[in-house]
Chain A
Amino acid sequence: MSKLLKKPQQLQRPETIGRFQKFGLSDNPFPSEPYVNQDSTDKRMNGGIYETEIHKKEFQQIMDCFLKQPQIEPNHLRLGYIIDTSYIGRGNGKSAFLVNLKQIIDDDYCLDISDGTNKCFAVYVSPEAGGRTKTFPGFVDILYQSIVKSGAIRSSLAALRLEAIRKLYPNIDQIIEHFSDEKLLSDLDSEEWFSQNNFDIKAISEEIYKNDFLQQLPDDFPLFRGRNSWIKPFITAKDFTEHYFNNLRKSSDRITFVFSHLVDYFLAAGFNGAYVLVDDFERIPDFQSERQRRDFALELRSCLFDGSCSNARLGFYNFLLVFHAGVPRLIGDAWAASGMEQRAPILPKISSKHVIRFEKLSKKQAILLLKKYLAEYRIEGVELDPLFPFTEDAVHRVGELSEYNAAKMLKMVNELLEKALDSEDAIVINSSFVDDNLDIFEDDSSRKQPIIKEGRAVDLENKAKGRKQ
């Protein structure tokens, strides 16, 4: 018989079910490494699965004291602190909270939240681990890169162009009527689209230059590149970055660029503020000397409150520094010596609007968190209890074992679910199932079995004899 017709003795069966189908899930919904990585495409990892009911109190305080306050009011809060109440401060969901906050702000540039009072974008900044960001100029570099990443420069450019086009070509509204924001953004960033529609780039640029806010900017500002040359370049966000890193060599020039020139540019594009969310702020002072801390605080104060840059005058950027409970003690002296303590006390004696306490999960929130993850991976059309296969008492037990630390809980339930898959009789995961499987996450002495690696250690006698290890 031809091999085309021959069949193997065994063949997979079409009704074979997926691994997690047993629990009505398409995959394990929980991350195995629960640390937010914004660049990950996996929604379990990038903070994309987020239950807004959790940390609602913190979110409400930020809404009321920051997002809803009119930006043009000069006394609005320009600096706030989100302090994790647990000393260790890792894995409580701060990064996920921030990523989500950023998304909510950017969704409609804060216009919906503030009833049209503010048009603001959000920037997520995360200082490098390992203490490379020690000085204020170093921090400004990271801030600048985060601004680029947030897309604010690109969308401002698009906003300026669109406004100019509308003045010069009144019929544009018909063309773009059905465009999504995304398509508009990419078209306005494409030279080809301009030529397809016969828009005169030169005229549009000239129209943009008339904007009041742009009049104070120096001639080398990237938006003006090639203004007086024969061939008009098509400016993109890349030009800004090239200018920043190639032309601005001195740190003072970079600070002026970010805190004055960019502010004017954003204002011209119709923004009246921005929220800068600095995650893991402790990574900066942890590695600084006392003097570096004071200098940092002084420069921050100058750029936010008292200096001569546009930002200090107008209060454009609103900073939210996020850190754990040990940090105020660490930087208290520097804050006091630099005068920051008068501007935005980090150790306030009474509860203050600008200090947001980030609490641990409660029992109820822990259940909500799990339900949210499960819902994301629930197979469509399957009617099950939203917490299935977990029971409430199992969640409480996991919560107790992990001290209601969100990251630890997620990791534990990830492993419990894997374990339950292998066990044939586990239909639900209840507290006794958790207790029976404590060994998979117990980090206590019970797992301290002598597993000293044989053969890996240097054998001194052999080494002394000159034998190869």
Chain B
Amino acid sequence: MAIQSVKKFYFLDYLHILLDSISQYDKRIDVLTSFLVLKRRYSLGESKYKKLTVDTEDITDGRIRRYIYTFNQVISEALEYKLVKATNNLDSIHLTELGEKLLSKYKERGSVSFNEELFRFMEDKYGAFRYLVSKLYAANRTLPGLLFLPSYSPRQLGFERESIKTTNDFIGYSEALVEKLGNDIEKYVGQRRDLTNENQKLVMRLIKTDLLPSDYKKCFDPKKYNVITKRFRDFWMSYFLQKVYHYDFSMNSFDLWTYRGKQIGIIHATEFNPYFCGKIVYPLSVIMKSVESRDFDELYRYDDGYSFFIHKPRWSENQEQFVAAIWEAYVDLRRTYRSYFVNLMALREIVCLSTKISEKTFEDFMNRTYKLNLSGKLQIRISLEVDKLPEETGAMYLKREPVMIDNKYRNIIAIDATKGGRAEK
């Protein structure tokens, strides 16, 4: 189906730097060069997360091939939306009027408006977001819109890496995993399912592809440990998506669309909820004919009278609720982790979920809250610091967007209730 054929790139910023490059050059090779320069300048793509290693200067052939592949994908998507036009062999590329308009929108009103405009083009062409969001609301009866894709590593189930050496050891893990997943399905979807057959199929497939030895007592190649655990993870995530929630998406397309939705601020997707192992996806938007609340903006109108509304709470009317949410989230985290300072990104996850706001809105509201705090206008006192908690010194928060408050990246937060304030209610 059309949704599946979406171009393979995640970052909407790529479309922006493509348009920007084409506005300056028209030869394909010049556009490519400019695209790569801008990609590097704005640290787009995966490189934006790599905080722990230094980027090597030398670029391998493989990397170049990947860059060119991405570049071609971005161009073909821009062509689909009629933002650019090109000669047949793609040697020469120009912006269309639409493309120019979109680019000037970015310059005048920033990335949020740009992304929202892109949303309209994407929805015109694919209608994927409507499908995605409607499915999300249908997925879970008890917690509307919340999609759980559980994933438990051997360690999370109490199997230390040293103790997993043979096929038999992995089977032990897979049985524990299946039991856990079965419980999750019952809990979130309200169905009882026997996953033993699926599990056997998976193990047989791993043996067939020589990842696990067919002699159950034999040791597997320890270098393949990570590949094998990843196979388990991918298999069960896809299983949940397609067999439990009945999506027509492959896991890849699903990730791609949810990540795009996250950038626009209409969907939240995370693997870092402190209270859940695996991935959580939920909408920050609704599809209805009309809304009664002022906290929603209409992004798109469909032919059948329904509209796509994005949840965009106004600070002036939601500050009480936001501060209450950070206090509640903080108290919970402090209780769970038994530490006065807690991870700010973990707090963000809880607050985004409970108030259904995007990470961008969280950052904006947090900044405003922090300013109120500094001027002494809050019932609570907030301390934000840059250090990490001791258990977080490893590479564990790659791929998490950092939180910038008061022009500084912050990692941990502590909150105090002031005298006469709303201490633990």
Using a CB–CB cutoff of 8 Å, the interface residues on chain A facing chain B are 35, 86-90, 129-132, 282-283, 286-287, 324, 326, 403, 405, 408, 411, 441, 443-454, 456-461, 463-466
Contacts and interface: CB of A to CB of B under 8 A. Distances in A.
B388 A454 contact: no
A460 B274 contact: no
B155 A445 contact: yes
Given A129-B416, A130-B383, A445-B277, A461 B286 contact: yes
Interface in B344-362: 353-356
Closest 3 interchain pairs by CB?
A466-B292, A129-B383, A464-B291
Given A448-B156, A450-B275, A464-B286, A458 B389 contact: no
Contacts of B62: none
B236 interface: no
B353 A130 contact: no
B166 interface: no
B354 A88 contact: no
A229 B283 CA distance: 76
A130 B374 contact: yes
B418 to A, nearest CB: 10
Contacts of B391: 443-444
B423 to A, nearest CB: 13
A445 B150 CA distance: 13
Contacts of A446: 156, 158
Interface stretch (B34-42, B141-149, B257-265): B141-149
Contacts of B332: 453
A360 to B, nearest CB: 11
A283 B155 CA distance: 37
A447 B336 contact: yes
A460 B284 contact: yes
B354 A130 contact: no
B138 to A, nearest CB: 12
A465 B283 CA distance: 16
B69 interface: no
Interface in B247-302: 273-277, 283-286, 288, 291-293, 295-296
27 contacts: A87-B387, A87-B388, A88-B388, A89-B387, A90-B341, A129-B381, A130-B383, A132-B374, A132-B376, A286-B386, A326-B387, A443-B337, A443-B339, A443-B391, A448-B156, A448-B274, A450-B276, A457-B355, A458-B355, A459-B144, A460-B356, A463-B293, A463-B295, A463-B356, A464-B291, A464-B296, A465-B292
A448 B277 contact: yes
Contacts of A131: 374, 383-384
Q: Which of A449, A458, A463 has the most CB of B within 10 A?
A: A458
A411 B337 CA distance: 12
B354 A456 contact: yes
A29 B149 CA distance: 44
Contacts of A444: 391
Contacts of A460: 144-145, 283-286, 311, 356
A90 B337 CA distance: 15
Contacts, number: 121
A457 B273 CA distance: 14
A464 B288 contact: yes
Nearest to B353: A457
B184 interface: yes
Given A458-B355, A466-B292, A452 B273 contact: yes
B367 to A, nearest CB: 13
A70 to B, nearest CB: 39
Interface string B306-349: 00010100000000000000001000100011111100000000
Given A129-B381, A460-B283, A461-B144, A405 B390 contact: yes
B276 A452 contact: yes
B206 interface: no
Given A445-B156, A448-B274, A450-B184, A464 B292 contact: yes
Q: Which of B143, B339, B390 has the most CB of A within 10 A?
A: B390
A205 B5 CA distance: 93
A359 to B, nearest CB: 16
A138 to B, nearest CB: 12
B121 interface: no
Given A86-B390, A88-B388, A90-B340, A465 B353 contact: no
B336 A443 contact: yes
Contacts of B393: 87
A458 B283 CA distance: 11
Nearest to A441: B338
Contacts of A324: 387
B382 interface: yes
Contacts of A132: 374, 376
Contacts of A466: 291-293
Contacts of A445: 153, 155-156, 277
Given A460-B283, A463-B311, 7 more contacts: A326-B386, A444-B391, A445-B156, A450-B187, A450-B277, A452-B353, A456-B328
Nearest to B286: A464
B143 A454 contact: yes
B137 interface: yes
A163 B376 CA distance: 45
Nearest to A440: B338
Nearest to B284: A460
Given A88-B389, A130-B383, A441-B338, A453 B354 contact: yes
Interface in B403-417: 406, 414, 416
A466 B292 CA distance: 5
Contacts of A453: 332, 354
Nearest to B158: A446
B379 interface: no
B293 A457 contact: no
Given A448-B274, A450-B275, A457 B311 contact: no
Given A129-B381, A449-B275, A457 B354 contact: yes
Contacts of A283: 383
Interface in B146-181: 146, 148, 150, 153, 155-156, 158
Nearest to A465: B292
Q: Which of A129, A283, A451, A460 has the most CB of B within 10 A?
A: A460
Nearest to A445: B156
A457 B385 CA distance: 27
A358 to B, nearest CB: 16
A454 B142 contact: yes
Interface string B197-233: 0000000000000000000000000000000000000
Contacts of A129: 381, 383, 414, 416
A464 B155 CA distance: 42
Contact of A457 (B143, B156, B390): B143
Nearest to A325: B387
Contacts of B354: 453, 456-458
Contacts of A447: 336
Contacts of A89: 387
Contacts of A456: 328, 354
A465 B416 contact: no
B275 A457 contact: no
B241 to A, nearest CB: 18
A466 B273 CA distance: 28
Contacts of B283: 460
B373 interface: yes
A72 to B, nearest CB: 40
B293 A464 contact: yes
A130 B390 contact: no
Contacts of B341: 90
A234 B13 CA distance: 73
Contact of B390 (A403, A451, A461, A464): A403
Nearest to A282: B385
A454 B275 CA distance: 12
Contacts of A457: 143, 146, 353-356
